[in-house]
Amino acid sequence: MIDIKLLRNDPDIVRENIKKKFQDDKLPLVDKVIELDKEYRDSKTRAEYLRSQRNKISKQIGFFMAQGNKEEAEAAKAEVKAMQDELESLSSKEDTLAEEIRKIMLVIPNIIDPSVPVGKDDSENVEIEKFGEPFVPDFEIPYHVDIMEKLNGIDLDSARKTSGNGFYYLKGDIARLHSACLSYARDFMIDRGFTYYIPPYMIRSGVVDGVMSFAEMENMMYKIEGEDLYLIGTSEHSMIGKFIDAQLDESELPQTLTSYSPCFRKEVGAHGIEERGVYRIHQFEKQEMIVVCKPEDSKKWYDILWKNTVDYFRSLDIPVRTLECCSGDLADLKVKSCDVEAWSPRQKKYFEVGSCSNLGDAQARRLGIRIKGENGNYLAHTLNNTCVAPPRMLIAFLENNLNEDGSIRIPEPLRMYMGGKSVIEVPAK
RNA sequence: GGAGAAGUCGCCUAGCCUGGUCGAGGGCGCGCGACUGGAAAUCGCGUAAACCCCAAAAGGGUUUCGAGGGUUCGAAUCCCUCCUUCUCCGCCA
């Protein structure tokens, strides 16, 4: 959500930004909100005047009552009653307008960073940099489910029976590998100075409303029946939620946090949920990074964050690249974002394994995340990034560390989490 | 799950029964100043946020006493709902 003052003072900046994002249908909203804002402030000013009159007279009534001057008191009461109608209608008008304005402000996109490439949709996202050689071995790489099954590491049939499509049982060394990747990611981030968190896995509707749009909520969040609770779709939800209406001291910044959680997503209408495997699923686990910082530091943190993910994947011998989101593909709340994509030697292409976002002050404005400064308060900047999110990440891991006989190499950093193993062997039948 | 008690301005606390002089007293902390050679102590002053009006500054105003609603001319104070914390009982990894 952008600052309405920017829209009042420099509507052209906002219009230009909307055009860059190819959302021309939203252009009329700029004038619409300026008009509503004017109307809102007019009725607010009038209502505040009436309230101040009422307060003044009410004080007088108290004074008359104390004197026992009933007649004067009754006369004053009548005076207040006379303006009650106007005040009431103005108040409700004020509320209605404020609500309307907020609704529009929520869909007016955040001002994107000048460095963001202009493009219409995801086909125009821009590759920034490759890390590691995208290597294709001279033997055939099986589909990830087949790799896992050969290692006796997955049971999709049982999962369909107990929970339906989009769920899975991982077992044996594959399950252990899954946990190992997360444990390693946890320690990897702690070593880089982040504070480890285990957050609540369910949050109240009030928090859900704050951290996502209604459409997202409908398509993503599982609701607990009979409770005001939702299963989180990512730990960002609970981690950012904890800062709602916070006033942070400058000395507490930056907050550099890394959180682990299972993630639950309905994936309504999402492409690929019906596909067999663990690429798009209703339940996965994720080690996440969250940064709350001063405005001048957010660009720096953005680069630190995505590089962490690249370093993590490179330490596991997985080639990756960064793909920058172009203006048209960038979510409305974001200033800048990029995906970290892992190499798939089977498909001979990269696929998304993580996403790094700088939200500027937009999220903070919406949620009231403020910093107490020397000369008054100001809004914080917020960022988030995926460190690793298995089991999707296992697809890249298995394909890139597969030997021709079907066994899996365990890169050095992971071995201590795998009981010292350097290879996962194919079990004898 | 049951029974009680409580949530006030950075922290602690007064006010709630008996609604008006309470945006709110006191203490601590913090800031500035006086005193001092310097400091401690002491004394004095100050000490929230969001928003609106005003070209700006000065100034004025509205809202906020856990959250939301209600009663009233007027609510920290009365009523309802919810959230949170503490104590006791029960249950359970």
Domain edges within chain A = 4-107, 122-424
Q: Return the closest nucleotide (C1') to the Cα of A379.
A: B50
Class of domain A4-107: mainly alpha
Would you say A117 and A327 are in contact if contact means Cβ atoms under 8 Å apart? yes
Coil, strand or helix: which one is A197?
strand
The CATH number corresponding to A122-424 among 3.40.630.30, 3.30.2130.10, 3.40.50.700, 3.30.930.10 equals 3.30.930.10
What is the block-wise mean pLDDT of chain A (429 residues), using blocks of 10 residues? 91 95 95 93 90 88 80 82 84 87 92 95 94 94 96 95 94 97 98 95 88 85 88 94 87 91 91 88 96 94 97 97 96 95 96 96 90 82 96 97 96 97 92
Number of neighbours of residue A205 by Cβ within 10 angstroms: 14
ipTM for the predicted complex: 0.83
Helix axes A11-20, A27-67, angle to 10 degrees: 140
pLDDT at A79: 83
Cα–Cα distances in Å, from A385 out to A75, A285, A357, A401? 64, 14, 6, 25
pLDDT at A91: 85
Which window residues (202-231, chain A) lie with Cβ within 7 Å of strand B?
228
Sheet containing strand A222-223, strands side by side = A202-203, A230-231, A222-223
**Which nucleotides on chain B have any atom < 7 A from a protein Cβ?**
20-21, 49-53, 60-63, 73-74, 83
Q: Report, in angstroms and rounded to the nearest whole number, the Rg of chain A calculated over CA atoms.
A: 27
Q: Return the closest nucleotide (C1') to the Cα of A373.
A: B49
Q: How far is the CA of A37 from the C1' of B23 (A)?
A: 29
A336-344 and A349-358 strand pairing: antiparallel
Asked if strand B contacts A421 at the CB level, meaning under 7 A, the answer is: no
pLDDT at A34: 94
Tokens 């949050």 sit at which residue? A203
For A155, phi then psi, to 5°, come to: -135, 95
pLDDT at A199: 93
pLDDT at A215: 81
Q: How far is the CA of A161 from the C1' of B92 (A)?
A: 30
Asked if strand B contacts A92 at the CB level, meaning under 7 A, the answer is: no
Would you say A406 and A426 are in contact if contact means Cβ atoms under 8 Å apart? yes
Same fold, A4-107 and A122-424: no
